[in-house]
Amino acid sequence: MQTTLAGMAGVALTPMGLSSCITKKDEEKLTTTLNLSFQEGIPPGENLTEKLDFMESMGIVGFEPGGRGLAGRVNEIQEALKNRNIKVSAICAGFDGFILAEDPEVKATFDSTMRDIVAAAGELGSTGVIMVPAFNGQKPCLPHTQETRDYLCEQLHELGEYAVKCGTTVILEPLNRRECFYMRLVGDAAAIARDAQSEGVKCMGDFWHMQEEASDYGAFWSAGTKYLQHVHIASRGRRIMPGEDGDKDDYRDGFRALKQMGYDKFVSFECGTKGDRRETVTAAVNLLRAQWDEV
Ligand code: MG
C-alpha cells in the first residue's frame, strides 16, 4: 500500500506526468481551423469566377469584397458563391464620409452609405463591415476629446444595433499612429467596441498595423472572442504577400493566441505582391498553414 501510494504520487508529480497532462489539455484547445480569406484583388484571374476557382483550388474559404457599390453586387456575389465552399468574410469599408466628421453633411453621407453597405453585408451573410472612425488626414474632424469619444460610442451603438437587425456587425480596424493615432492597438478598438454597448460593434487586428503592438499574442487576447471578429494579414516589412519579407513574416505568436481562443472567423489577405501572383499567393498560403500547424 505504501509503495503504491508513493508510486501514484510519483506519477502525478514528476515533470513528465505534469507535462503530458498539459500537452493533452493544449491539444484539445489547439484544434482550431485556420479559415483563410482573400480580398478580391489577391487571387489571379480575369473575373470573379476565375478568382473564386483559384481560391477553391487552394482551399480558401473566405472572400472579402470591398464595400463600394456592394448593394448592386449582392446577386452577382451570391450567384458566384453558389455551390462553392467559400463564404463572404468581412466587407472592407467602401462608404463615403466618416463618422467623426465635423460637417453634418459629411456625417450624413457616412450614415446613409454605411447603412446601405451594412444591409448588403447582412444579405450576404458577412461577418461585418470594416470601418475606421476617422483617419488622421480626414478633416475637419471633431476634436479628439473625451466628449468626442462618448459621441463616437453613442453613434457606434446606433450603428451596431442597426447591423444586428441586418444580421451582421460593424468592425473597428485599428491602424497605426501615422494613419489613426487614437486607435492603433487591437485593445484600443476592443475598448471602444465594449463602450459602444452593442452586440453589433466588434473589432479586428491587422498583422501589418500590429507592428505597433508589444505582443501579437497579447493584442488578440486583449479583444478575446467577444470582440475579435476579423483578422487581416500581409508581409511584415513591405505589406506584400506573407513570406515575401522572409524571416520578418512570423505570425506564430498571434496564431497561438487565435488557436487558444478558438477563433472561428477569418484571417484575410490584404496586401500587394512583388512577384508572380500565382506563385507568391500559393507560397503565402503554404507558409501560413505551416506556421499555424506549428503552434
Ligand atoms: Mg487592414
What predicted TM-score, i.e. pTM, was given to this entire model? 0.90
CATH superfamily of 24-294: Divalent-metal-dependent TIM barrel enzymes (3.20.20.150)
Using alpha carbons, list the distances in angstroms from residue 28 to 25, 219, 254: 5, 23, 19
User: Cα of 167 to ligand 1 centre, how many Å?
Assistant: 23
What integer pLDDT is reported at residue 38 of this predicted model? 98
Do residues 125 and 166 make contact, with C-beta atoms less than 8 angstroms apart? Answer: no
- The CB density around residue 244, as the number of other CB atoms within 10 Å, is 23
User: Cα of 274 to ligand 1 centre, how many Å?
Assistant: 19
Q: Which three cell numbers stand for residue 189?
A: 478598438
* Residues constituting the chain: 295
User: Cα of 183 to ligand 1 centre, how many Å?
Assistant: 13
**Each residue's pLDDT tens digit in the chain (295 positions)?**
444 444 444 444 444 444 444 455 555 557 899 999 999 999 999 999 999 999 999 999 999 999 999 999 999 999 999 999 999 999 999 999 999 999 999 999 999 999 999 999 999 999 999 999 999 999 999 999 999 999 999 999 999 999 999 999 999 999 999 999 999 999 999 999 999 999 999 999 999 999 999 999 999 999 999 999 999 999 999 999 999 999 999 999 999 999 999 999 999 999 999 999 999 999 999 999 999 999 9
User: Cα of 104 to ligand 1 centre, how many Å?
Assistant: 27
User: Cα of 207 to ligand 1 centre, how many Å?
Assistant: 8
Give the residue extent of every domain in the chain.
24-294
**Residues near 40 by beta carbon (within 8 Å), at least 6 away in sequence:** 48, 51, 63, 64, 65, 66
43: exposed, middle or buried (C-beta count within 10 Å: 0-12, 13-18, 19+)? buried
269: exposed, middle or buried (C-beta count within 10 Å: 0-12, 13-18, 19+)? buried
What integer pLDDT is reported at residue 170 of this predicted model? 98
